[in-house]
Structure 1
């Protein structure tokens, strides 16, 4: 399964939320995470951030749930 990741954050070359509406639009907090399908449908989201150490297993667990595997 191919996956493209985008980080929306100030600075560091990431995508920038110039209108400051990402959190409201996706229903997440300032550090929330969103997994969106290519057609824009949100498959999963959390208001809480995910630490670097948690990223791998969180993505795997969410993918299994979303794909029902």
Structure 2
């Protein structure tokens, strides 16, 4: 199983912080259209995948990232 080096860990932690902030911001809006709710769900899926990567559970070669995670 592949492990992240220190730079990789720092990068993933930065991305997690950004995702958490985006999720909180979008969740705070009271009247969300379906597209926003779907976007929040995808961000949460990506966040969970990144956390598992930090724990060393699922290296990218063993599990595909969530769909559309680069968009």
Q: Return the structure number with greater strand share.
A: 1
Q: Return the structure number with greater helix share.
A: 2
Give the structure, 1 or 2, with the largest relative contact order (CA under 8 Å, sep 6 or more): 2
TM-score range, shorter chain: under 0.3
Q: Which has the larger radius of gyration?
A: 2
